[in-house]
Amino acid sequence: MINIAGGKGANLGELISLGIRVPPGFVVTSYAYKYFISYNKLDEKIREIFEKEKDDETISEKVKKLILEGEIPKDLREQILSAYDSLAKMVGKEILVATRSSATAEDIESASFAGQQETYLNVTRDELLDTIKKVWASLYTARAISYRRFKRIDQVTVEMAVVVQKMVNSKAAGVMFTLHPVTGDKNYIMIESSWGLGEAVVSGKVTPDEVLVEKSTLRIVEKKTSHKVLKIVYDKQKKENLTINLTGEEADSMSLSDEEAIELAKLALKIEQHYGRPMDIEWAIDADLKYPDNVFIVQARPETYWSNKQKEERKEEVKIGVGKVLTRGLPASPGIAFGRARVILDVKDAKDFEKGTILVTRMTDPDWVPIMKIASAIIT
């Protein structure tokens, strides 16, 4: 199924078969992508670019240009729009959709492509076809090219399906892990939440609220309310996503109720039991529906950090002395590192970043992946 619907599409299909609440939608399969590539005779052109060019940014720009300038065949255009119309009819009105990348090498156990390709939110019917081409083109972002090379995945034969789902009008959204992301403890579910669309959490633009749930009892054992500086919402009049700065009560109030957190934990347990391994799950709470029908899972993929770490040989422990603590913070990934610290506020200024240096920046996103792979530690 992954070779047809991509990793994300296949996982969502499995969730639906489990009875998990997933926003309705359809998948533009990898066959459609191959048809598009073949119709526009892009196969050899893409291969030639990879053979001639060495810089990932240059490769990315040239390949994406080819795809964006390509024409979707008439019969494929009609099938996609017909699927959208059927979805809108099922919901009962013209709808906004999310278009999500679902590459055939994505969301698999050995590799997490989270953020490597693009997702577009609140897409209209008129925008759908061009947006699908943008998702296809995002198969060749510089960060995706770099990551595939790192994972030794062929650059030309990889394919892209596109998941098209009804948008959830998110009052809150976020991610959850079926283990403790800091310690790797499998007895807990960690839920991270913020107001508005989940993009704010996934992209690292906010420090999310945290709810820690014990698996055996489904009891909330810890809650942390963060100061959330912004939320991303869809403006119906302007027909675009807006970033709104938060102040006062909303910025400092918990974005997730206890009952919503417990419902999410129940869904997370069901998903983990099905896959038989720790999972990394994205979710959203719909402002237009009543609990519990407003709790949706929008994505689920294998957790890779702790799962892969446990397969590695245990490294010899390093003993360190006690020194003066200069600053404290919340660890995203525990460990000990040393090296020269370098403050870089824009990824464009990181071209001469040296291996083993400690990266200090405001926040990271997938564009930082090449730098993150050679940094000894990251502080944000």
Ordered DSSP codes for 150-204: HTT--TTT--EEEEEEEPP-EEEEEEEESS-TTT--TTEEEEEEEEB-THHHHTT
Q: Which of 82-96, 144-158, 298-312, 324-338 has the lowest mean pLDDT?
A: 324-338
Asked if residue 110 has pLDDT above 50, the reply is no
The Cα–Cα gap between 134 and 143 comes to 15
Q: In the structure, what pLDDT confidence band is assigned to residue 323 with cuts at 50, 70 and 90?
A: low
Mean pLDDT of 59-81: 97
158 band by pLDDT with thresholds 50, 70 and 90: confident
Q: What percent of the chain has pLDDT over 90?
A: 59
pLDDT-derived band of residue 334, with 50, 70 and 90 as boundaries? low
Strand stretches in the chain, DSSP E: 25-28, 97-103, 119-123, 160-166, 170-177, 188-195, 209-214, 219-224, 230-235, 240-245, 279-286, 295-302, 341-343, 358-360, 377-379
Grade residue 312 by pLDDT with cuts at 50, 70 and 90: low
Q: What is the pLDDT of residue 314?
A: 45
pLDDT band at 313 (very low <50, low <70, confident <90, very high): very low
Mean pLDDT for 344-353 is: 85
pLDDT higher than 90, residue 232: yes
Dist CA 25 CA 302 (whole Å) = 22
What's the pLDDT score for residue 217?
A: 97
| Per-residue confidence band for 98, with pLDDT thresholds at 50, 70 and 90 | very high
User: Which whole number is the average pLDDT over 135-159?
Assistant: 87
pLDDT of res. 112: 47
Q: CA-to-CA distance for 281 and 173, rounded, in angstroms? A: 11
Burial 341-358 (b: 16+ CB within 10 A, else e): ebebeebeebeebeeebb
Q: Averaged over 47-62, what is the pLDDT?
A: 93
Tell me which residue of 219, 214, 243 sits closest to 231, measured CA to CA.
Answer: 243
Stretch 352-378: mean pLDDT? 82
- Rounded Cα gap, residues 109 and 317, in angstroms: 27
Q: Identify which has the larger pLDDT, 1 or 33.
A: 33
DSSP assignments along 238-270, one per residue: TTEEEEEE--HHHHHS-SS-HHHHHHHHHHHHH
The pLDDT mean for the chain works out to 88
Closest CA to 27 of 135, 174, 139, 168: 135
Q: How far apart are CA 187 and CA 281, in angstroms?
A: 16
- CA max distance for the chain: 68
Interval 245-261 mean pLDDT = 95
User: Once rounded to an integer, what is the mean pLDDT over residues 324-333?
Assistant: 66
**CA 56 – CA 229 distance, rounded (Å):** 34
pLDDT at site 330: 60
- 151: tokens are 């994972």
Q: How many CA atoms lie within 13 A of 360 on its CB side?
A: 7
Residue holding tokens 């489904």? Answer: 218
- With a cut of 60, say whether residue 192 has pLDDT above it: yes
CA distance linking residue 130 with residue 136, whole number of Å? 10
CA distances from 76 to 39, 272, 365 (A): 11, 36, 33
Q: What's the residue count for the chain?
A: 380
Across the range 211-218, mean pLDDT stands at: 97
- HSE-CB at 57 with a 13 A cutoff on CA atoms is 6
Confidence band of 149 (pLDDT split at 50, 70, 90): confident
The model's confidence at residue 108, banded by pLDDT at 50, 70 and 90, is: very low
Domains assigned to the chain? 2-166 (3.30.1490.20), 170-309 (3.30.470.20), 322-380 (no CATH)
* Whether pLDDT at 302 is above 70: yes
Mean pLDDT comparison of 23-27, 201-205, 288-292, highest-scoring range:
23-27
In the prediction, which pLDDT does 111 show? 45
Q: Supply 254's token pair.
A: 């918990």
Does residue 339 carry a pLDDT above 60? yes
Choose between 234 and 107: higher pLDDT. 234
